[in-house]
A = this chain, B = another copy of it.
Amino acid sequence: MKKAMNAFYAQSGGVTAVINATACGVIETSRKNKQAISNVYAGRNGIIGALTEDMIDTNRETKNTIHNLQYMPGGVFGSARYKLKGIKENKVEYERLIEVFKAHNIGYFFYNGGNDSMDTANKISIMSKDMGFPIVSLGIPKTVDNDLPITDNCPGFGSVAKYIAISTQEAALDVASMSKTSTKVFILEVMGRHAGWIASAAGLVKKEKADAPHIILFPEISFDKKRFLSKVKESIKKYDYCVIVASEGTRYKNGSFLSDTGNKDAFGHAQLGGVAPILAQMISKNLNLKYHYAIADYLQRSARHIASQLDVKQAYAVGQAAVEMAIKGNNAVMPVIKRTSNKPYRWKIDKTDLSKVANKEKMLPKRYISKDGYAITKSCRDYLEPLIRGESYPPYEKGLPKKIKLKNISVRKLLNKKFMV
């Protein structure tokens, strides 16, 4: 029998309301398989923890603490926006990773992130083999943007979808009750740089024609000012108010974002924000209507208090499956969620090759967007609806979700060399 080795787990990129449920799945499943995995080391601040040999010893956490991870938003070990370059451009980083893994007897690498991270995980699998210390490297899907291919949906998305749908419904009831004498137009700006998945979730609220949201703006549909303003006007005329849900990535036909701050993030993506005030000013100037707007920003992706129960379950399941797959000898794969039936909704865990997921984005398909471009279709509703089902309430203490304190004790460093990131 093969001797047990350690595993390394890291969170990557923007965190979600349920990424720690995945951590919980990884650690609990590893603990059940001590014959294969002796300890899970978590990267402090994601992959940076591996590069700097700064790893957290999860064996030092109690069973109860690990169990309670599923209730915590954010990333309990720290995450990072840090993309390793191609092997040719930056071989030294990959070499360092393998060196650290070798020193700490790490035979399993679990990288919990989006498409950038799947690329990294894939490279580590290849590189480690080349370097004579083959590591079983798996990706675990996570992204609020729901833009990974092959998997039916991404853990993290169901909860942000639920949050956006509920917030839209609640704010719409508020606005509707005041529209006679006060605010006529309410705009909710939601995340979604390239894909309109998050915005589409607001469409779940609209059950009848008169219901909010009256307009959804998707990054997939070119913004047409004239058509938009006439749609707002129509909604005011018919219902006396207008609720708009706008993706941050809403853009003009020429591809330019309605709101580009000019800043770029670590991956070189444009940092957006502020499409809501742009729309509000447009409406005020052209239609002279009283408006209000909300920008949900991080509130939407950290809202563990109203996470989707299904999402929590699936986030756990992909963590569990990754460990089980790795132990069985699967390498360079990612567990995916496969929808086996729509009505009733049924799902199972399947797997795919990392190379098929790496650096690919799944947009909202055309057939999910209504003809006029401002609403979702029935097939989109059928797709989305199961994903927000069920409430998974965290435990409370004095009116606030109970915070779980981790010890987060570092694994003793074994290498002398320092590595600068």
Contacts and interface: CB of A to CB of B under 8 A. Distances in A.
Interface of A: 11, 14-15, 17, 45-46, 48, 72-82, 162, 165-167, 169-178, 180-183, 186, 188, 204-205, 263, 265-266, 271, 273-274, 276-277, 284, 290, 292-299, 301-306, 308, 385, 388-391, 393, 396, 398-401, 403
B167 A299 contact: yes
A160 to B, nearest CB: 12
B399 A390 contact: yes
A74 B171 CA distance: 8
A109 to B, nearest CB: 19
Main secondary structure of the interface of A (DSSP, over half): mixed
A292 B173 CA distance: 28
A384 to B, nearest CB: 9
A186 B296 CA distance: 12
Given A294-B297, A296-B294, A296-B299, A177 B78 contact: yes
The 10 closest A-B pairs by CB, nearest first: A74-B173, A388-B399, A75-B177, A294-B297, A170-B302, A174-B302, A45-B180, A74-B177, A171-B298, A80-B181
Contacts of A297: 171, 292-295
Nearest to A180: B45
A265 B182 contact: yes
A293 B182 CA distance: 26
B302 A178 contact: no
25 contacts: A11-B177, A17-B170, A45-B180, A46-B181, A73-B170, A74-B170, A74-B173, A74-B176, A74-B177, A75-B174, A79-B178, A80-B181, A165-B400, A166-B400, A169-B400, A171-B298, A171-B302, A173-B403, A175-B298, A273-B292, A273-B293, A292-B297, A294-B297, A294-B298, A389-B398
Contact of A292 (B188, B298, B389): B298
B15 A177 contact: yes
Given A170-B305, A389-B398, A400-B205, A298 B177 contact: no
Contacts of A171: 297-299, 302
Contacts of A292: 273, 297-298
B266 A181 contact: yes
Contacts of A162: 399
Given A78-B178, A204-B399, 17 more contacts: A15-B178, A48-B180, A74-B177, A75-B174, A77-B177, A79-B178, A82-B181, A169-B400, A170-B304, A170-B305, A171-B297, A174-B301, A205-B400, A296-B299, A308-B399, A385-B399, A391-B396
A292 B75 CA distance: 17
Contacts of A170: 17, 73-74, 299, 302-305, 401
A93 to B, nearest CB: 14
Contact of A391 (B273, B390, B393): B393
A306 B401 CA distance: 11
Contacts of A78: 177-178, 180
A295 B298 contact: no
Given A178-B15, A302-B174, A399 B80 contact: no
A141 to B, nearest CB: 18
A182 B266 contact: yes
Contacts of A177: 11, 15, 74-79
A73 B298 contact: no
Given A166-B401, A273-B292, A308-B399, A178 B14 contact: yes
